[in-house]
Amino acid sequence: MKLVNKIMLLFVLIYLTCNVSAFENELANGSVYFNDKKCTVYDAELKVGEPATIKAVVYLKKNVDVSTALSASGFGYKNVDQPFEVIKGSSEFTDTAREFDHNAGETVTFEWIVRPTDEAAGWTIPLNIAFTFYDRDEKEGYPFKFTAANIVVHNEHYSGPTPTRTAADPSSTDQPPSQGSPGFGAAGALLGIALVVMARRS
């Protein structure tokens, strides 16, 4: 293996092992699940069109609103061709789902059924989730992201049953979160580039 490939592989491994399976701050705590496995899931495998479930369970410590969104490393929020699409869930892929007027002690759940598109065929793509919390004065606090699953998408199509695709409730959506959220934006972009270069060199 050439030196550049070794360096890129090391970067990918460090990036993935730095991800978290749960989160906690002064406003909330919670966990994320990929197909009922607590995230981050490093060995996920899907075929093109095969459904998978992402669920985020958030326990509120204070009276705050919470928003969340899904994205993929190496693909901008405004890209038309995304590697995943939402079949059913709290928001469309890369759009933000937001829950308003919740109080301390309540539990908020976001859930999506997603599937890889043809854009993802033959690639390994990190599927990410972002959270932002807002107080009642709309002051933004504690935005962060992490990888829910590192998914190998096989270059073949799924032939099993698939839930009927339904649109997200527009009343629960908001604007996409900033791509510069702490600890992820630049690293996610570099990870996507590293995976592409490694695949083309192999």
pLDDT digits (tens, 9 = 90+) for 7-17: 444 444 444 44
Contact 10, 194 (CB under 8 A): no
Structure-token pair, residue 42: 């490093």
Q: Are 11 and 191 in contact (CB under 8 A)?
A: yes
DSSP type of residue 77: T
Neighbours of 107 (CB within 10 A): 11
The single-letter code of the amino acid at 170 is P
What average pLDDT does this structure show over 90-105? Answer: 90
Please tell us whether the domain made up of 3-201 is placed in CATH 1.10.10.10: no
Distance CA(35)–CA(72), nearest Å, equals 17
Res 99: pLDDT: 86
Proportion of the chain in helix, strand, coil states, percent, rounded to 5: 20, 45, 40
Q: Cis peptide before 124, with omega less than 30 degrees from 0?
A: no
Rg of the chain's alpha carbons, rounded to an integer? Answer: 17
Instruction: Give domain limits for the chain.
Output: 3-201
Return the axis-axis angle of helices 3-17 and 185-201, rounded to nearest 10°: 140
Cβ atoms 133, 27 nearer than 8 A: yes
Distance CA 57, CA 115 (A): 21
Q: Of the spans 7-16, 90-99, 137-146, which averages the highest pLDDT?
A: 90-99
pLDDT surpasses 80 at 86: yes
| Virtual torsion, Cα 156, 187, 111, 175, nearest 10 deg | -110
Q: Inform me whether the pLDDT recorded for 22 exceeds 90.
A: no
What tens digit of pLDDT does each residue of 43-78 get?
A: 999 999 999 999 999 999 989 888 899 999 999 888
| Amino acid at residue number 64 | V
Q: What is the pTM of this model?
A: 0.72
Gap between the Cα atoms of 195 and 192, Å rounded:
5
> Which ranges in the chain belong to alpha helices (H)?
3-17, 185-201
Instruction: Look at 179 and 111; give whichever has higher pLDDT.
Output: 111
For 47, the token pair is 């075929």
Q: Write the pLDDT tens digit of every residue in 146-190.
A: 899 999 999 999 998 877 766 555 434 444 433 333 333 334 444
State both tokens at 77: 């929020």
Looking at residue 100, its amino acid is F
Query: What local confidence, expressed as pLDDT, does residue 168 receive?
Result: 56
